[in-house]
Structure 1
Amino acid sequence: MDTHLRFSVLNRDLPAAKDRTAKDPEIAREIKYYEENFKNVETVDDLLNDYRLYNFMMKTMGLEDMAYAKGMVRKVLVEGTSDEKALANTLSDGRFKELAEAFPFNKDGTIEGTFDWSEKNEALDRKVVRYTNVPGEKVEDVDRLADYYQQKMQRNVGLTVQLLADPALYKVVTIAYDIPQEIIDGPKEERIEWFDKNLDLDEMKKPSELKDAVEKFKDGLEAQRVESTKNIVEKYIQVSFEEDEGEQNEGVRLALNFQRTAKDITDAYEILGSPALYQVVRTVLGMPEEMVGTDIDNQAAVINEKFDVKKFKDPAEVDKFVKKFVILYDAQNGIGTAPSVQLFASNPGVGIPENVLTAVNALKFGG
């Protein structure tokens, strides 16, 4: 079956097609292993040294071809993306940035969510830190944060700035009181204004409110973990589904991937950083093979000249773009006897004639 026809058939009921992939015994086993074991990962090395978890992660992020580069993967995970000089931000392959964002770790190698209680974290109340640690016993991080919060709030927190300046208190409060993400990420002044307007410190320090906040914090953390696991599993199923289709027809895999990710494209450089997106865009825009590997700024300029990537926010534009790709992919790969290609051919069996290709390439986007 040719690319155009297979892609059309799958799109008639994508959920059912992906559900069949999820029920594949091998896929189901790997999903179950991830769900049962990733929650036990405490450090980046725990993840890298577990063959099945590591390969699950790499496949989920479309990085199976880079599984051998564990040293680089470790550096990407530990450095994250907050620093513009971090490795993930300097690599041309955008998949590594997505990896660091999907599997966040702290710079000390602990998984994000595990709080930094070290002496370097000078913003903490060291006396309360000592009280929350039981020598010789392992204290769960969530319990230690809850204990710290209750003790510290009752001690000497009288101003919003004190609450915002203490990373342990801030972590508990943002989750327990469901602080909007735009406030959490916003400027300090806006955060102070929002906290002063929406939270009452005196009320928060009451025993019943402290207890309630701690319970909400724990529930919130668990909800975040469940949601994160769900998102990763869904992506693993999607990627597995696309890979399965790719084994039969690479064009179908590329089309499905583009259909799923195009809405997130913000500039031409993101296209150039993704081998899959780049191949689709290069095919549709008619960028010659000779351009591959040339100056990245020049290639970005060519893409921007030929197409406004902001249009990918419009599902109709994505649909039009990917449909053009599947037809051109079949033509360029000599799939001339396939049913959907013959629909365009004046002489079935000889491929798409030049006048039809010209018409397809002249397809106008944006109206």
Structure 2
Amino acid sequence: MITTYTSYTMISRDLNKSLARVAEQPDVARETEYYLSKIGDIKSVDDFMADSRIYNYALKAHGLEDMAYAKAFIRKVLTEGVDAKNAFANQLSDSRYSSLVKSLNFSAYGEAATAFDAAQKGVVDKFQRQTLEEDAGSENMGVRLALYFERLAPTVKSGMEILADDALSQVVRTAFQMPDEIMAADIDRQAEFIEDVLDIKDLQDPAKVGKFLERFTAMWELENPTDTYDPVKLFSPSSSGISTDLLISINNLKLGGK
């Protein structure tokens, strides 16, 4: 039986080759060809929402496919952009929404938004990486978590950012076997504990991230010998930071039916 760490390193060691294999999958190649052939014609949020294949491709690329049904919600995210401090995406703790805006920044660039590399090759690269991680998770959720952590690690600046992401926090909690009393403590205490046991600066060093993930994968196998972990618990997009009433009102808008 191949260990979680071995499976992770087989993918990570030659990431370009792993991604190339994903790109060659018929369904991925088909949707990518469509996306690249059409995205330049998308000139507005309305255009984006109207083409379901473009819409679904971009959302999956950013790990937001589970929110595809919430069209009014996604419309509000894209319409308000990220430049204003009180923009909708900036009120959400899940950074995937602001990442979507930065890829398709209609608020800042209008009709030219899709002409930029971020909206074209950038989204394709994200889609292929997301697919790679999901495919790995279908075999071993620990591998998906390790690949996800490896990708996000250089962007992490604090223990609080780790706690704001269920998947990142699961990796850290597993690796360091966080005591029950810490996990039951308030969020600030949990963040302090993470920063005590994990030097955040080390996340900028690929070699140190690799050593950390070796530790994580070993502990993951001890805790999850049958690997039946539900990915919904870890990777579903979060809308925290917005009240439930506001979420309901947004998703009841007539725009949600578009």
Q: Sort the TM-score into its range (normalised by shorter chain).
A: 0.7 to 0.9
309-318 or 23-32, which deviates more: 309-318
Corresponding residue number in structure 2 for 1:326: 217
Residue of structure 1 in register with 2:104 after alignment: 103
Q: Residues 96-152 of structure 1: CA distance to partner in whole angstroms, max 9, x if unpaired?
A: 22222222121xxxxx4337xxxxxxxxxxxxxxxxxxxxxxxxx8xxxxxxxxxxx
Work out whether 1:113 is the aligned partner of 2:114.
no
- After TM superposition, the structure 1 = structure 2 runs for residues 56-67 of structure 1, keeping only pairs within 5 Å, are 56-67=57-68
Quick one: which amino acid aligns to residue 217 of structure 2?
V
Instruction: Return the match for 2:203 from 312, 317, 321.
Output: 312
1:169-318 matches, within 5 Å, as: 225-226=116-117, 228-288=119-179, 295-318=186-209
Aligned 8 A contact 2:150 2:209 in 1:
yes
Residues 19-61 of structure 1: per-residue CA shift (max 9 Å, x gap): 1110001000110111011111111121122111111111100
Unaligned 5+ runs, structure 2: 228-258
Quick check: which has more Rg, 1 or 2? 1
Q: Which amino acid aligns with 2:56?
A: N
Q: For the residues of structure 2 that align with 1:289 and 1:102, how far apart are their CA atoms?
A: 39
Q: 1:38 to 1:292 in 2, by over 3 A?
A: farther
Answering whether residue 27 of structure 2 is matched by residue 26 of structure 1, we say: yes
Paired position in structure 2 for 1:202:
none
1:291 is displaced (CA, Å) by 6.2
Give the aligned partner of residue 75 of structure 1: 76
Contact 2:62 2:99 in 1 (8 A): yes
Root-mean-square deviation (CA, aligned residues, Å) is 2.5
Q: Using the alignment, how far apart are the partners of 2:12 and 2:224 within structure 1?
A: 22
Amino acid at match of 2:97: F
Matched-pair identity in %: 40
In the other structure, the counterpart of 1:122 is none
Letter in 2 for 1:279: Q
Change (3 A) 1:68 1:298: farther
CA distance 1:246–1:7, shift in 2 (3 Å): same
What residue number does 2:247 align with? none
Alignment CA distance shift 1:228-1:53 (3 Å):
closer
Tell me the number of residue pairs that the alignment of Structure 1 and Structure 2 aligns. Answer: 226
**For residues 289 and 81 of structure 1, what CA distance do their matches in structure 2 show?**
37
**How big is the shift at 1:256?**
0.9
- 8 A Cα contact 1:38 1:53, kept in partner: yes
AA at the equivalent of 1:114:
G
Gaps in structure 1 of 5+ consecutive residues: 107-111, 116-140, 142-220, 337-367
- Following TM superposition, the consecutive aligned residue runs of length 4 or more in structure 1 with deviations greater than 3 angstroms are 288-296
In structure 2, what is the Cα distance between the partners aligned to 1:65 and 1:296? 26
* Secondary structure of the structure 2 residue equivalent to 1:97: helix
**1:154-201 alpha-carbon deviations (Å, 9 max, x no partner):** xxxxxxxxxxxxxxxxxxxxxxxxxxxxxxxxxxxxxxxxxxxxxxxx
Matched AA of 2:132 = F
Are the counterparts in 2 of residues 245 and 253 from structure 1 also a CA contact under 8 Å?
yes
> Higher relative contact order at CA 8 Å, sep ≥6: structure 1 or structure 2?
2
Distance 2:225 2:75 in 1: 42
Q: Does the C-alpha gap of structure 1 residues 228 and 97 become closer, same or farther in structure 2, counting only changes over 3 Å?
A: closer
What SS does structure 2 have at the residue aligned with 1:27? helix
Q: Are the counterparts in 2 of residues 7 and 255 from structure 1 also a CA contact under 8 Å?
A: yes
With normalisation by structure 2, the TM-score equals 0.79
Query: Map of 1:130-149 to 2, 5 A cutoff?
Result: none
Q: Return the structure number with greater helix share.
A: 2
Q: Which amino acid aligns with 1:20?
A: R
Structure 1 residue 294: deviation in Å?
6.6
Give 1:333's aligned amino acid.
N
Deviations 1:248-301 (A, max 9, x none): 111111111111221111222322222222211221122256766974333322
How many Å separate the matches in 2 of 1:28 and 1:277? 29
- Which residue identity does 1:64 align to in structure 2? E
Give the residue type in structure 2 aligned to 1:317. Answer: K
